[in-house]
Amino acid sequence: MEKGDIFILSAAHQSQYVGKQIKILNDEVDKQISYVGELICIRTIKEACNPMYLFSLLNLDLFKTLLNREKTGQTSHIYGKDIKKIKIPLPPIEKQNEIAEHIQAIRDKAKQLQDEAKKVLDEAKIEVEKLILSN
């Protein structure tokens, strides 16, 4: 596995789960990793397709619908050959990089706000607890 690999849940007994979970490996892997389940690993050619750009597209409802249309079998499956049928808009790599950086900045800001909100909530819980215990 490499940083930037994209993983899609490719089989499940309940079809609504197939293609819904899409994850990207954000860090370098320094040891062997094992996983249980049927996953498809997508590795881009970095000079042609920014992995974060592709990951962001695949997480859009539109592309999840397109993935959903490719499911086959009694136990729903998506296969690599079927995913290759989905047309992906590929602007020049410079534009993909710009889009990916913008999306990452939004994700980073959202994470920062989420962390701040958790801190405020934790502090509020402590204050409420103090008020309750002081009465």
pLDDT tens per residue, range 87-107: 888 999 999 999 999 999 999
Give the pLDDT score at 134: 83
pLDDT, position 105: 94
Give pLDDT, residue 44. 85
Span 23-79, pLDDT tens digits: 788 766 666 766 666 788 888 888 898 999 999 988 888 888 787 777 666 667 777
Q: Compute the distance between CA of residue 18 and CA of residue 114 in angstroms, rounded to an integer.
A: 28
Burial of 124 (0-12, 13-18, 19+ CB in 10 A): exposed
Residue 56 in contact with residue 103, Cβ under 8 Å? yes
Q: Say if residue 94 is exposed, middle or buried (CB neighbours under 10 Å; 0-12, 13-18, 19+).
A: exposed
Which pLDDT does position 95 carry in this prediction?
94
Sheet of 22-24: strand order equals 22-24, 6-9, 39-42
Q: Which two tokens stand for residue 37?
A: 């389940």
